[in-house]
A and B are shown apart, each in its own frame.
Chain A
Amino acid sequence: MKILICISNVPDTTTKIKFVNNTTFDNAGVQWIINPWDELALTRALDIKDAQPGVIETITVVTVGSQETEPTIRKALAIGADKGIRVNAEPKDTFFVASQLAEIVKKDNYDIVICGIESSDYNGAALGGMLSELLDMPSVSAVSHLDVINGQVQLKREIDGGQETVEAQLPFIGIVQKGIAKEPRIPSMRGIMMAKGKPMEVFEGVGADSFTEFVGFDMPKPKAACKKIDPENVKELVNLLHNEAKVI
């Protein structure tokens, strides 16, 4: 079996987010990482491969981006992916990226394609779905458990207040979320050394539309002073939590 994992290159989650003139993300001094959900997806794929040697032939990772994203691919190779692919194109929107990835999926016979449920930068939560539609492949979203047993995939997907066990025909696209693996792996010295020798292919991007465009960025309002509520009117608190803070 061949697994393809789509990884995106995102700022470290502890990064202080800033914009230049409210139009461009300020990437000065930013440390880039593998999108956390994608890294968990890779971890799970490696766990499956380790548990059943021979069943998973190769794990390939792919990202769409400029040359600056290569360290992120090499980190994935150091963690254990077998092969890296970079599509040389500047991401415009999710549809554009999905169109690039679709071309990559068509180049080989992948049995399982895995995407993270969202990326921690634009929180789009759309890539996996778009890619599966472009390829006319079945997709299962919010997957929190994935296994390969006797050549079949077994999945659990999260639903409101529970889980469903789902079967999917291959090839399929798994869109995975928290729970898919416990903790991302730390690359070993051997892994880091071997990453240098692993294949990294670069393909030029294909022409594709973009459906959407970011036209400006803003920072959320700073934390306001504590709102005091009359102890005789606790209902008001519930009302505010529900309608204003939108947390219950």
Chain B
Amino acid sequence: MNFEFTEEQKMIQQAAKDFAERELLHDVIERDEKSEFPAEHIKKLAELGFLGMMTDPKYDGGGMDTISYVLAMEEISKVDSSVAVVMSVCNSLVIWGIETYGNEEQKQKFLRPLASGQKIGAFLLSEPEAGSDATSQRTTAEDKGDHYLLNGTKNWITNANSASTYIVIAQTHPDKKHKGINALIVDKNSPGITLGPHENKMGMRSSDTHSVMFNDVIVPKENRIGEDGFGFPFAMKTLEGGRIGIASQALGIASGAFERALKYSMERKAFGTEIFNHQINAFKLSDMAVKIENGRNLCLKAAWLKDQHLPYGTASAMAKQYCADMAMEVTTEAVQIHGGYGYVKEYHVERLMREAKLTQIYEGTSEVQKIVISRSLLK
């Protein structure tokens, strides 16, 4: 056991913190209000190599470990989760999926531009009728010999508009149920792809979320990841890692709100003293600190297991569920500590509270995480 971060991990953490404070903080409120995609910010983040930070350098990635990724995600999410989610989808879902299960040709063609941050990716699993129950895929990838013909609708797709590379989960052999599903790498500019309007969301408003419609979209056979029918296990495996990203995001939302609340409590006076000195607030902050520490340890544990190539599915589900629920609690209290000021945009905590809510929903709701965790108890 060793709780000490390496020099490199600390350097990455500091780099992410500097980036968040210098590049994201100044206009995060405005972007949230206008639902404006942070294209320029993402470009800079990509140039620093954060979008493919864990990928093997031989494919132009950063070669960092998952612990570093947790630290960086936390720092970025303290300030702007709409940016952090781009980082999470690229690193944990799209890039990890291709790097782990793609063939060499796919890696050369698709992984390189993604890992170096020249292109960004999106992961298309959810459908109008298939959310928590991802097995009931209605999007079809019909086998046409040398290509697949893609038809159907995906909902809630993060980066739908800004991405160039999609990973689409679709049904090829409906009779085989989830064993007939495939994962395909799809060029977003393929004819037959249309996007629904930008979703007008409660939080993470500047992340670009759309429905994606496929109408006879031709996908070359060589773009299938893995064997025929590998799509469902592929998606589940990918989400296991994705949860570490979202758990760290939730952790960052919580610690960002906590830091603001702590500072505020030592400045704001009521009844002649700083509100921190009213013990209920000090205890609130103490509870928040304990929860955040727990959450961080869960994230780091899951990341460590992944880095050691040990099974991490249950650990990542625990981290995701705990951190998401914890972020909701902590941000709610952070708003409370700010009083009326917490309820307006300038103080950031109301936004963090809106952002926290999403972490309980996407990449598997908190309820779904409990299903995963409880199933593992029986094993």
Q: Which residues of A contact B (CB under 8 A)?
A: 71, 74-75, 78, 183, 186-190, 192-193, 196
Contact = CB atoms under 8 A, between A and B. Distances in A.
B8 interface: yes
Contact of A189 (B7, B12, B22): B12
Lowest 6 A-B CB distances belong to which pairs? Answer: A189-B62, A189-B49, A188-B48, A188-B49, A189-B53, A71-B7
9 contacts: A71-B11, A74-B11, A188-B15, A188-B62, A189-B48, A189-B50, A190-B57, A192-B11, A192-B15
Interface residues of B, number: 19
B267 interface: no
Contacts of B7: 71, 74
A197 to B, nearest CB: 11
B47 interface: yes
Contacts of B12: 189, 192
Contacts of A193: 57, 62-64
Contacts of B49: 188-190
B57 A188 contact: no
Contacts of A75: 11
B15 A183 contact: no
B19 interface: yes
Contact of B19 (A186, A190, A192): A186
Contacts of B50: 189
Contact of B15 (A71, A74, A187): A187
Residue among A74, A186, A189, A193 with most chain B CB within 10 A: A189
Interface in B1-35: 7-8, 10-12, 15, 18-19, 22
A79 to B, nearest CB: 10
A190 B15 CA distance: 12
Contacts of B19: 186
A202 to B, nearest CB: 16
Contact of B64 (A71, A183, A189): A189
Residue among A74, A186, A188 with most chain B CB within 10 A: A186
B15 A186 contact: yes
B88 to A, nearest CB: 16
Contacts of B63: 189, 193
Contacts of B8: 192, 196
A187 B7 CA distance: 13
A186 B63 CA distance: 18
Contacts of B57: 190, 193
Contacts of A186: 15, 18-19, 22, 48
B368 to A, nearest CB: 32
B5 to A, nearest CB: 12
A189 B12 CA distance: 7
A163 B18 CA distance: 31
B127 to A, nearest CB: 34
Given A187-B48, A188-B62, A189-B62, 16 more contacts: A71-B10, A74-B11, A78-B11, A186-B22, A188-B15, A188-B48, A189-B12, A189-B49, A189-B61, A189-B63, A190-B49, A190-B57, A190-B62, A192-B8, A193-B57, A193-B63
A190 B8 CA distance: 12
A34 to B, nearest CB: 11
Contacts of B64: 189, 192-193
A71 to B, nearest CB: 5
B53 A187 contact: no
A188 B62 CA distance: 9
A183 B47 contact: no
A75 B19 CA distance: 15
Interface string B57-82: 10001111000000000000000000
Given A71-B7, A193-B62, A193-B63, A188 B47 contact: yes
Contacts of B48: 186-189
A71 B10 CA distance: 10
Contacts of B47: 188
A81 to B, nearest CB: 14
B245 to A, nearest CB: 16
Contacts of A187: 11, 15, 48
A20 B7 CA distance: 27
